[in-house]
Amino acid sequence: MIDNTKTIEAAKAYAAQVTQSQKDKGFTATHLHIYTDKDGACLYFKPRLKNLNTGDKYIRSISQDSSSKWQMRDPDFERVYPEGGGKKPLYLLHDLARDASSMVYIFEGEQKAELAQSLGLIATTSGGSTQIDKYHWEVLAGRSVCLWADNDDAGAKWLTALYQTLSQLDCDVQVIDIDNLGLPEKGDIVDWVAIQRQAKPDMTNDDLVDAIKKLPTMSSEQLSILTDDIAEPSSFILPQDGEQVTPQLAQSVIEQLAALNELEYQLKRGEAAKALNNMPVGTLDKLVKETRAALDVEQTKSLVIDTEPYQRAVDGAAAADEIYGIINQHIACTDAVAIATTLWIFFTWVVEASHIAPIAWINAPEKRCGKSQLLTLISLMSKRSLPTSNITAAALFRCVEKYNPTLVIDEVDTFIKDNEDLRGILNAGYSRDNPYIIRCSGDDNEPKEFFVYGAKALSGIGKIPSTIMDRSISLTLRRKHNHERRDRVRDLSRDTTDTIKAKLARWSDDNIAAVKDTKVMLPESINDRMQDNWEILLKIAQLLGEDWLNRAHKACIDISGIEHDEPSLNEQLLIDIKQIFERKKATRIFSEDLLTALCSDPEMNWATYNRGQPIKQRQLANRLKEYKISSKSIRIGQDNRKGYDIADFKDTFKRYIPDTPILSVTTSQTSDSKGYREKLSVTTSDSVTDRNQLQTLQGGTCDAVTDRNPLSDDTSTCNTKNAPNDTKNYVTHSTPVVTDKIVRGCL
């Protein structure tokens, strides 16, 4: 019998540590999903948090590496789950292996599978439609399965992809007909159970299971729609025994492999590699990937459409006013955002005249603020717009070089951090000074330069990598009030947007040379990078006339003013080190003491900097070396050890820490009990710090200035955060090898 108790408790403690920053943002820990092998041994975990006010979710993987050290990532599946061939195990795998005869119910998400299992059903799940090929479905080959999709468009895509995958594994597949369940939009089994229990409060689990087994399922005619896109298995023309493998024959086999879906390819790759003179499978994978990319590029050609210029000369200011009016008609946004968006759409038509291609970063703090709607408007009126969700990352930079499109990428926050190819395209495609990325290409796998300079519009929630943010014009949206009315973008006539594109094409033809030669005054109150970002928009505005130039200058200041700058990670490190010197009233500090101080404040980044672990001495030293600051032998009292002298920081502080305050302009006050906050002040100007010395706070230990949360009437109590090891909110779903009940514990 496998006892996972110690592993689960260790996972809960680590999850509590690495998710503390999300809890500080208002998220609550709800579940710790446990992925197991067929015997019930833990393989890895997924902490789940939810913002109860906004409904936003935060889900990450945590696991142990080969040395049993915890890490915030998936494990090496080839090591922990070798039978999966590098793919992920299905959720609740121990249940699937224990009962091979019962119907398996499959849902979108661990919570739904857990609910079904708690009722007495055999259940599992996968990720969304784009994750299905990453899971090891072969364990269900030949079994009876029933799919229950969420009631939304994403659920329909998931259903189609999973039905096709399981059908090719000879599964007996049934599909719950969700259209006849009376569920709300995005409704699932959780909503269905709630509806049943509300109607009949005395329903038992057995009653619910009986009701589920009687739910309507799709007919054969309905199921046939899901199989329309299944490719018939290809009849490979493989070299026969003794036949010479020519380059032409090998390329024919590779093209056949490239046309297969991922499951078919995995089934055929070994046979094909052997037939191609025992070609290494890794080499075959590279060649197939290259061929798929080329096919994707060719298929993308039909999506990138050129526009015939308007027959008459175009009044640019009038065209800009028309675009500005359409944006305000459909999107709830500030005037600055509407102006910047209008000018950015113009920019896509004169991108050849620009030296810098600023990214349009459409963002909002929450959902339902109109991000996708504004991105759609930009796509409808920009030059050669290309949505990128329908092509692979490997094909993306080839499309940029070949078709010079305006890239339009939605929900970029969900994958940009894990997509190095996309980040490379976005960063390299910003300036003509370095507009290339290098990738291996061709039969000989030789490095090749790809030109990726061009216009890019991104949309997402929250933050994106700082290197991309720094290259962007931030178009921040707000959720409209209930009384505000905006027209739906899908009701906007395509004749209207097509006419606007024709006008912009003509205006570009007539004015592109003037745009390139125009000189413009840039606002001095914004930093150099923001001046670079706005230069092309201000050039366009200057050609549109004085009114548009004045409006553009105001929008530039409103959106890109230096008061909106956020420190980079290195700048934040300098700010935090400066605060530590000030708090300790010291001019020298030992290295280990500096490291301890950095990691002891939960509001700083450093306690979880190293993939959930505290920053190491070597990592701290490497970051400071970028500023030519190194540790040295110093003496404090009778002790002589390696450390840092504030004199070595003074020039760096002046050069890199902004004079404006980051979080607070007043130093926190001390109390008689020394109960002041550890992060005393973020004011970086020496003159301000010198003037605002620590003063004794009589009658309490609260920080009444810096803390954003107002103090209660009882001024003797501090407004403190939960400790990082607060584990009480998580629910873990344990393996039935230990217990069949949901394990509830502190996390």
Number of domains composing the chain: 4
Q: List, in sequence order, every beta strand (DSSP E) within 520-624.
A: 588-590
Let me know if residue 547 belongs to a domain: yes
Structure tokens at 665: 């302009």
Instruction: Give the three-class secondary structure for 289.
Output: helix
Distances (CA, A) of 731 to 32, 189, 742, 744, 746: 6, 19, 7, 5, 8
Domain co-membership, 45 together with 163: yes
Domain co-membership, 554 together with 574: no
Domain co-membership, 29 together with 143: yes
Let me know if residue 648 belongs to a domain: yes
On the question of pLDDT at 60 being above 80, the answer is yes
Let me know if residue 729 belongs to a domain: no
On the question of pLDDT at 598 being above 80, the answer is yes
pLDDT tens digits, 25-34: 888 999 999 9
Domain co-membership, 189 together with 97: yes
Q: Among 279, 302, 325, where does a domain finish?
A: 302
Contacts 24+ apart (CB under 8 A), 280-286: 284/254, 284/257, 286/440, 286/445
Distances (CA, A) of 520 to 70, 203, 534, 550, 735: 54, 73, 10, 12, 66
Let me know if residue 456 belongs to a domain: yes
Let me know if residue 455 belongs to a domain: yes
Residue in 613, 607, 747 with CA at minimum distance from that of residue 71: 613
User: Model-level pTM?
Assistant: 0.46
Let me know if residue 710 belongs to a domain: no
Dihedral angle of Cα 260, 264, 268, 273, to the nearest 10 degrees: 50
pLDDT tens digits, 388-410: 654 556 667 777 887 889 988 88
On the question of pLDDT at 667 being above 60, the answer is no
Domain co-membership, 373 together with 474: yes
Domain co-membership, 333 together with 404: yes
Domain co-membership, 13 together with 49: yes
Domain extent for 332: 316-479+489-564
On the question of pLDDT at 180 being above 70, the answer is yes
Structure tokens at 141: 């080959």
Q: Among 180, 195, 230, where does a domain finish?
A: 230
Q: Work out the pLDDT band at 1, boundaries 50, 70, 90.
A: low
Domain co-membership, 94 together with 184: yes
Across 484-492, average pLDDT: 84
pLDDT tens digits, 444-482: 567 778 888 999 998 887 777 778 888 999 998 877 777
pLDDT tens digits, 317-359: 999 999 999 999 999 899 999 999 999 999 999 999 999 999 9
On the question of pLDDT at 541 being above 60, the answer is yes
Dihedral angle of Cα 409, 413, 417, 421, to the nearest 10 degrees: 0
- The region of weakest confidence among 113-127, 621-635, 642-656, 710-724 is 710-724
pLDDT of the residue at 101: 85
Cα torsion angle, 245, 246, 249, 252, sign? positive
Structure tokens at 626: 């970028």
Instruction: Give the three-class secondary structure for 633.
Output: strand
Domain co-membership, 97 together with 216: yes
Q: How many Cβ atoms from other residues are within 10 Å of residue 454's Cβ?
A: 24
Pairing of the two strands 359-364 and 472-476: parallel
On the question of pLDDT at 82 being above 70, the answer is yes
On the question of pLDDT at 561 being above 70, the answer is no
Q: List, in sequence order, every beta strand (DSSP E) within 67-149.
A: 70-71, 104-108, 122-126, 144-147
Taking each helix axis as running N to C, give the angle between helix 494-517 and helix 316-330, from 0 to 180 degrees, rounded to the nearest 10.
130
Q: How many Cβ atoms from other residues are within 10 Å of residue 599's Cβ?
A: 18
On the question of pLDDT at 307 being above 60, the answer is yes
Domain co-membership, 296 together with 378: no
Domain co-membership, 281 together with 416: no
Element (H, E) at 28: strand 27-36
- Residue % of the chain over a pLDDT of 70: 79
Where residue 374 sits, what CATH number does that domain have?
3.40.50
Let me know if residue 702 belongs to a domain: no
Average pLDDT of every residue of the chain: 80
Let me know if residue 216 belongs to a domain: yes
Where residue 206 sits, what CATH number does that domain have?
3.40.1360.10
Domain co-membership, 432 together with 576: no
CB 667 within 8 A of CB 692: yes
On the question of pLDDT at 534 being above 80, the answer is yes
On the question of pLDDT at 518 being above 90, the answer is yes
